[in-house]
Amino acid sequence: MSAQKSLNLGDDPQFLALPGGMYGAQQLVLSFSQVPTSGTFSIQVLPVGSSEWVPLSKATNLPASGAPYFIRSAGWIGRVRIKFDGVVGGAGGVLWAEQIELPSGLFEGLAAITTQPYTEANVKNGLQFYIRAVWPKGQTIPAGQTRKIWFSTGSSPVIVKARVFEFDAEEIRIDLYANPTGVTGGSIITPQNYNRVAPVAAVSQAKKNVTTVTDGTPFDPSDPEYFFGASNSPQRTPGSILQGRERIVPANAEFIVAITNTGSGAARAQYFLDYYQGGTDLPI
């Protein structure tokens, strides 16, 4: 079963109806006879019997200039809608949906399917990023002073996969805040993509050494994180935040990571944040 629709490259959503719906797995294809030079597109699906559109994380704010795209979806869907934003050039746009045949008995436990960790899938789909902020020997944090990292999710939610903090200090405290005000200054931290073949453009942004009018609302009120070293420099050791829990943060939000040297000497530190850019699930 398949269906297709010719597209008008405007900003208004356009709809592809699937009479009777498609059940199981689908492949959505976006193609142009002349590929646009700029602009983005987003695709959502409407499950049969539902009134809520579901965004496809692998097809949200993707550059139209990268077409053709082949995007997987799953479930019982009845309609597809696509929205173009700021598209320049391009002609002959077509969106179509094809049902993908799955092995008989797959959902009854009678056929096998290959699985992989989410992070591995995120990397393959170009959606896994990291940022790193460092205060080395030449930029130490004096006792009693604070250094701040500003992070903005942009137009996509973010799921923090790993957060590692290394330090050389007697004692350091970390506080997390949401919705800071008056953020100025600082130096840009460029989000790095693990996929060097087909990376998705980062919509998140970050800076270190920013100043704020207010830091915002604490993530975990009355629960700052402390890290302890030894009181004498040769014995100071790095520490890290163990993996195992994910923190999900919304789109179009800003945050502050405040690193305060609460010890008696200068501190060296490195803050590493590993995260997925997208919704809380991936289409198969």
Q: Which residue has the tokens 């965004």?
A: 55
pLDDT per residue over 243-281, tens digit each? 667 888 999 999 999 999 999 899 999 999 999 998 776
Q: Residues 71-90: what's their mean pLDDT?
A: 90
Are residues 7 and 80 part of one domain? yes
Can you give the pTM of this predicted structure?
0.64
Q: Which of these ranges, 19-28, 198-207, 228-237, has the smallest mean pLDDT?
A: 228-237
Confidence of residue 284 (pLDDT cuts 50, 70, 90): very low
Are residues 151 and 265 part of one domain? yes
Are residues 203 and 131 part of one domain? yes
Are residues 250 and 155 part of one domain? yes
CA distance 161 to 243: 8
Greater model confidence, 32 or 74: 32
Q: Which of 73, 103, 133 is the last residue of a domain?
A: 103
The CATH number for 252's domain is 2.60.120
SS3 string, the chain, reads CEEEEECCCCCCCEEEEEEEEEEEEEEEEEECCECCCEEEEEEEEEECCCCCCEECHHHCCEEHHHCCEEEEEEEEEEEEEEEEEEEECCECCEEEEEEECCCCCHHHCCCCCCCCCHHHHHHHCCCEEEEEEEECHHHCECCCCEEEEEEECCCCCEEEEEEEEEEECCEEEEEEEECCECCECCEEECCEECCCCCCCCCCCEEEECCECCECCEECCCCCCEEEECCCCHHHCCCCCCCCCCCEEECCCCEEEEEEEECCCCCEEEEEEEEEEECCCCCCC
CA distance 116 to 54: 23
Contact 280, 157 (CB under 8 A): yes
CA distance 2 to 254: 42
Boundaries of domain holding 243 = 123-277
Specify which of 4-18, 105-119, 258-272 reaches the highest per-range mean pLDDT. 258-272
Residue type, 202: A
pLDDT per residue over 204-236, tens digit each? 999 999 999 999 999 888 788 888 886 555 555
User: Using CB atoms within 10 A of its CB, is residue 67 exposed (0-12), middle (13-18) or buried (19+)?
Assistant: middle
pLDDT per residue over 145-188, tens digit each? 999 999 999 988 999 998 889 999 999 999 999 999 999 999 99
Examine residue 113 and state whether it is found in any structural domain, yes or no. no
Are residues 142 and 229 part of one domain? yes
Greater model confidence, 11 or 30: 30
The CATH number for 53's domain is 2.60.120.260
Q: What's the total number of domains in the chain?
A: 2
Are residues 273 and 200 part of one domain? yes
In residues, how long is the chain?
284
